[in-house]
Chains A and B, each alone.
Chain A
Amino acid sequence: MIYRETGQYKSNYGADEQIFPIRQDRIGVMIILALAYLVVPFIGNDYWFSAILIPFLVLSLAAIGLNLLTGYAGQLSLGSAGFMAVGAFAAYNFMLRIEGMPFLLGFILAGLSAAAVGIVFGLPSLRVKGFYLAAATLASQFFIEWVLTKFPWFTNYSASGVITAQKMVLFGYAFDTPVSRYVLTLVIVTLLALVAKNLVRTRTGRDWMAIRDMDVAAEVIGIPMLKTKLLAFAISSFYLGVAGALWAYCYLGTVEPQAFELTRSFQLLFIIIIGGMGTIVGAFFGAAFIVFFPIFLNLFTSTVFAGQLDPGMLSHLEQFVFGSLIIFFLIVEPLGLARLWQLGKQKLRLWPFPH
């Protein structure tokens, strides 16, 4: 009843080409943004900010990056955590070695460094596809980890290989409380999500999808293969690089190259598969599922089964349930939570009358 576009007539293409053409969607997004910016910072506690919300936002950003490459441009990648590592260590080194470097500029340079590395490792995509490309990007994952461990210059000769993120100060304001870091992350993620949405609704995104769906036809239309694929690698890696920098500076504070292992790449891949390939909102759904769900599960099992089962058993049980749920979700909706969301909205448009 409430969610219906009846009466919302559009008289120009500008109105029809908006990101959210339906008014209720626009209102919904405004409410979510208002909550995230104006309510959550005042009611959340430090644990929520630093252990749940910040990693959720950073993983969402990284998943958007991977989704641009894998979901939109169709290039399967297992090197995402490697590009995050490039971002984290680039930000560290730029801020360490250049006096007075503003941290936001450092983050941008981190993204650009990751983009440059991404372009290099994207070159095989011109010749190999699918699983073979996944194997090639896997090489980037191991190579980047190896370089960061092998050459101590990158970690500034720290004995343990661990770097400590410098303080983030903007116009004399230091982002040193969890809530300030949460707001900083939120601003960056909001802006970059908007940019991603703009990219995928314009020629850039259509060219990517064209290459994903039918590369011969795309070539005959005149879409340049080389440029389009490498652009996808560059922009995707930029997102991952910024996410890596945020992971180091806003979430962990101290990182070692091992924070960006292959497991993280797989985690990002799962996020976009569960959330929905080729959607921006899916990155948020998937990240929410991966971050929030184990917490709920933990809360649930520890209250229901408390005292009856030993903690080791309990944590195994959680993983078991979590795994089964992923399988269940994928059987019910292989296209991910974003698709479920879309179907739900379709149903809602007709509700309560089925026709």
Chain B
Amino acid sequence: MAESRHLGDIILKIDHISLSFGGIKALVDISFQVRRGEFLAIIGPNGAGKSSMLNVINGVYHPQTGTVTYKGETRHHMPPHRAAELGIGRTFQNIALFKGMTVLDNIKTGRSLKIKPNFLMNAIWFGPARREELEHRRKVEEIIDFLRLEDIRRTPVGMLPYGLQKRVELGRALAAEPDLLLLDEPMAGMNIEEKQAMCRFALDVNDEFGTTVVLIEHDMGVVMDISDRVVVLDYGRKIADGTPDEVRQNPEVIKAYLGVGH
């Protein structure tokens, strides 16, 4: 599958990132690159620093050293709102939906940056305010259609089951039409059918919209099946980087996952 798709230039370049919290080294001298259109998985045991890596990419954490280059713009620290403006979308490991709002409103909020009229126009529901609300409603409905959320669009997300909440969160991230989508364990805690559905959605996003995807996942079967390339972290260090087959045979990876005989 990887061969059949055209991979573009480098969209994201991580250079010698180190991040520590007090004495704890979450990330140590990490470097890797992501190409446009690629489906990259980051794997590693618990506490390996996977989520920290995503948090560095979209600016939630500030690394002590190193730089992040995104679309040719090199930064030591990327503020989260700047990351959003530049087209980095994100879902969270622990669902971070807006619980009191409906599915529709959650996904609409994902598009907030694209909705231009200011509050004075909104206040009177006049001209551009009304026009844009309706236009964005149409786009949001496309996402609802894509993720099969039609029947629950008016339901407050707090009342939805876990699997659907994860799907709504993907929808919210997609609403911003991101170029780079960071998915933090989108399939954690799901049963096999839900996992399959979520894999399908992630692959479709990658295929149909050409969105670059960086995925964190624990399920090895899933990772090996759907990703173009795998980066393996262990105790904050990068221990492997390659195609699923290469990574599978890497002795370091086997050691990290299975332990080593004495």
Q: Which residues of A approach B to under 8 Å, CB–CB?
A: 12-14, 16-17, 195, 198-199, 201-204, 206-207, 209-210, 212-214, 216-224, 231, 235, 278
Contacts and interface: CB of A to CB of B under 8 A. Distances in A.
Interface of B: 58, 60, 80-81, 83-85, 90, 92, 96-101, 105, 108-110, 112-113, 115, 117, 119, 122-125, 129-130, 133-134, 137-138, 141, 172, 176
A14 B131 CA distance: 9
A18 to B, nearest CB: 10
Given A218-B98, A223-B109, 4 more contacts: A203-B115, A206-B101, A209-B109, A221-B109
A216 B81 CA distance: 11
B108 A219 contact: no
Contact of B101 (A14, A203, A213, A223): A213
Contacts of A203: 108, 112, 115, 117, 122, 133
A222 B113 contact: yes
B103 to A, nearest CB: 13
Nearest to B90: A220
B101 A209 contact: yes
Contacts of B122: 198-199, 202-204
Nearest to A18: B125
Contacts of B58: 220
Q: Is the interface of B mostly helix, strand, loop or mixed?
A: helix
B200 to A, nearest CB: 24
Contacts of A210: 98, 101, 109, 112
A198 B109 CA distance: 16
A233 to B, nearest CB: 13
20 contacts: A199-B119, A202-B117, A202-B133, A203-B112, A204-B123, A206-B108, A209-B109, A213-B100, A214-B96, A214-B99, A216-B60, A216-B96, A217-B98, A220-B83, A221-B112, A221-B113, A222-B81, A222-B176, A224-B81, A231-B119
Nearest to A206: B109
B123 A199 contact: yes
Contacts of B108: 203, 206
A13 B134 contact: yes
- Would you list the 3 A-B pairs with minimal beta carbon distance, nearest first? A222-B84, A213-B98, A202-B122
Contacts of A13: 134, 137-138, 141
Contacts of A222: 80-81, 83-85, 112-113, 176
Contact of A217 (B92, B105, B117, B138): B92
B115 to A, nearest CB: 4
B117 A17 contact: no
A206 B81 CA distance: 17
Given A209-B98, A213-B99, A198 B123 contact: yes
Nearest to A219: B80
Nearest to B100: A213
A17 B90 CA distance: 28
